[in-house]
Structure 1
Amino acid sequence: MFSFFRKKAPTPPSPPAALPPAATQAAQSPAPAPAVSEAAPRKGWLDKLKAGLRKTGSGIATVFTGTQIDDALYEELETALLMADTGVKATEHLLADLKKRVKDSKTTDPAAVKGLLADAIADLLAPLQKPLVIGEHKPTVIMVAGVNGAGKTTSIGKLTRHLANEGATVLLAAADTFRAAAREQLAIWADRNTVEIITQQGGDPAAVSFDAVTAGKARGRDVVLVDTAGRLPTQLHLMEELRKIKRVVQKADATAPHEVLLVIDGNTGQNALMQVKAFDDALALTGLIITKLDGTAKGGVICAIAREKPVPIYFIGVGEKLEDLETFDAREFAQALLA
């Protein structure tokens, strides 16, 4: 589950909130956050994460079933990491780091080397672990992009539920105006979460986004979530539409969008890294949501992202249920991967 931690705003004490991973600190607060017991739900999440990453991690973990640490082990590990779409740069980095850890610890047991690899992966991914802060701006405007089929609209629905459950008021903007199914899907999520939605059939996506931000300000909403049309980064005219949405949102609120998130499908492996690079060039991404890690053997792409395009990962998903989207924790991920 998500925990919200409050901090004082510059003018009157409206309570901003942060949405941190369990293992990270919340934004600075003048008073301690109320104690919240997350052990049970987080334990349930970790079990799902381990099960979800089994396809990716099994090939890596089997490398350490031998009896000695030698060149053959490292060669097998290199192959396993590449097969998991960790990428050449991240694989080289992890192997060099692991060999140093083995030498420094004087480890002779291959099973112990697996633990050292988990440490190396956790350290590589640590810079990607960052809390999503809600409340420094009112509304906090979050623009969400992604290719068709990545799970973008579903992720927005799940995020909306988490925000609403913790007391944040949310307004949805259906800026995928030309695809009726997208508007209908977002409307269903709005209805399930009992939040308002700004929608317009066949209208200008930028205009809908502008109206939503303006409405969010007027109605005092905490968050405005803008769902944009799915597209490939090679569709240049559609990428320009995303830039236009961002520009027009800034006309409604000069400080917005406060977050620009990209939803990527873990099944796409190295292609996911290319998407991160392309969308970041177009929009200056602030965070990622990585979905469908339970259906892929290519979850190592997170390591490739960390090495080549370290955009923070706010959430990861390992299933279709509401609770199957959770905050990203680098050490949890590394340990679950090699469990």
Structure 2
Amino acid sequence: MSFFKKLKETISRQTDAVTEKFKSGLEKTRNSFSEKVNDLVFRYRKVDEDFFEELEEILIGADVGVTTVMDLIDQLKEEVKRRNIQDPRDLQSVISEKLIAIYRGGEEFSNELNMQDGLTVILFVGVNGVGKTTTIGKLAYKLKSEGKSVVMAAGDTFRAGAIEQLEVWGERVGVDVIKQNSGSDPAAVMYDAIQAAKARKADVLLCDTAGRLQNKVNLMKELEKVKRVIEREVPGAPHEVLLVIDATTGQNGLSQAKTFREATDVSGIVLTKLDGTAKGGIVLAIRKEMNVPVKFVGLGEKMDDLQQFDPEQYVYGLFADLVETAE
């Protein structure tokens, strides 16, 4: 059975709505990346060094990342020898197979949130403008639709409008927002939010934080203080630290991510605006260079467009036409 046919069967066992979200959300990347790969395999009569050089350029152009691309090309060359592949068209399914294998990295990364029996505390970090507050609102909507009781903490007390933005989301979703005045101590906001979440017997507390990178020392101290307060009030918390990255910033987003990893223990990535870029390969670069799972991806503007990341759905989104016609 071909890899694309197996992938088609895997996808068919999941909901059509999720499949359509990944297909439409990755349209820009697919139109750029897949079309170039298709053109490449039909232009070449055999798999040779020139073929691999062009494929390398296509992958780097999709923001897969130089290190990841080199590893992928080496693996493809080994597979070509092992399977005695002559026709470049036979490589399309092998490329897809290897993309999934690279993401998994020999270990099963969980894309599930680390939910607790009592209060689950999730801390969001990331620079301003990446869609952090919007992501919190969308996750609140998702969790509430799953029957969870949710409270949000407006911990970004430095950015003008951040508190109001979270309040707007609170009203839209029907979730309480715990806040203080602009300029307040973020750790004090977290303390109040935890007490409020406990009093309401909430299942989940979603915590916003400031995203200043201008002074890394202050950022780290602030995050450390916030985490200390959370851990003191809820032992073992925060149960997740989700780093929000704007997919449209590409490799720049990756360098921001590394700064936040120095400041706090990131347990998962939320990649926003994936629908707005042709460089969706950043998913693989993040996995390879940060060794942290992508837990959610933003695939549109709607309330339900924040989707749990799934490697098979991702590769389907890149090669939808080939998967759907697989026999």
In the other structure, the counterpart of 1:230 is 211
How many residues align? The count is 305
In the other structure, the counterpart of 2:200 is 219
Letter in 2 for 1:302: V
Deviation readout 1:146-189 (Å, 9 max, x if unpaired): 11111111111111100000100000000011334111111011
Distance 1:234 1:71, change over 3 A: farther
Would you say the 8 A contact 2:126–2:245 is kept in 1?
yes
Distance 1:200 1:278, change over 3 A: same
Would you say the 8 A contact 1:289–1:315 is kept in 2?
yes
Letter in 1 for 2:185: D
1:149 aligns with 2:142: no
In the other structure, the counterpart of 1:48 is 24
Alpha-carbon distance between aligned partners in 2 of 1:300 and 1:233, rounded to the nearest angstrom: 28
Work out which structure has the larger RCO, using CA pairs closer than 8 Å and 6 or more positions apart in sequence: 2
Deviation readout 1:52-108 (Å, 9 max, x if unpaired): 433552444433232321111100011111222222210111001111222222222
TM-score by length of 1: 0.84
What value does the CA root-mean-square deviation take over the aligned residues?
2.1
Would you say the 8 A contact 2:22–2:299 is kept in 1?
no
Structure 2 unmatched ranges of 5 or more: 1-9, 321-327
Alpha-carbon distance between aligned partners in 1 of 2:215 and 2:103, rounded to the nearest angstrom: 28
Per residue, is there more helix in 1 or in 2? 2
Deviation readout 1:92-129 (Å, 9 max, x if unpaired): 11001111222222222222211101110100112574
Distance 1:133 1:307, change over 3 A: closer
TM-score by length of 2: 0.87
Alpha-carbon distance between aligned partners in 2 of 1:323 and 1:169, rounded to the nearest angstrom: 17
Distance 1:101 1:81, change over 3 A: same
1:334 aligns with 2:311: no
Give SS of 2:177's match.
strand
Alpha-carbon distance between aligned partners in 1 of 2:196 and 2:289, rounded to the nearest angstrom: 38
Give SS of 1:53's match.
helix
Q: 2:47 aligns with which of 44, 66, 69?
A: 69
Distance 1:121 1:153, change over 3 A: same
Would you say the 8 A contact 1:60–1:338 is kept in 2?
no
1:171 aligns with 2:148: no
Write the mapping of 1:23-34 to structure 2, written as runs, cut at 5 A.
none
Alpha-carbon distance between aligned partners in 2 of 1:326 and 1:73, rounded to the nearest angstrom: 35
Of residues 217-226 and 329-338 in structure 1, the stretch that sits farther from structure 2 once superposed is 329-338
Letter in 1 for 2:206: L
Deviation readout 1:15-70 (Å, 9 max, x if unpaired): xxxxxxxx79xxxxxxxxxxxx8522123223223414335524444332323211
Would you say the 8 A contact 1:102–1:116 is kept in 2?
no
Letter in 2 for 1:63: L
Q: 1:89 aligns with which of 67, 79, 91?
A: 67
Give SS of 1:154's match.
helix
Would you say the 8 A contact 2:21–2:299 is kept in 1?
no
In the other structure, the counterpart of 2:325 is none
Structure 1 unmatched ranges of 5 or more: 1-22, 25-36
Distance 1:50 1:222, change over 3 A: same
In the other structure, the counterpart of 1:119 is 97
Give SS of 1:322's match.
coil
Deviation readout 1:291-329 (Å, 9 max, x if unpaired): 111222332222222222111110011221122221111
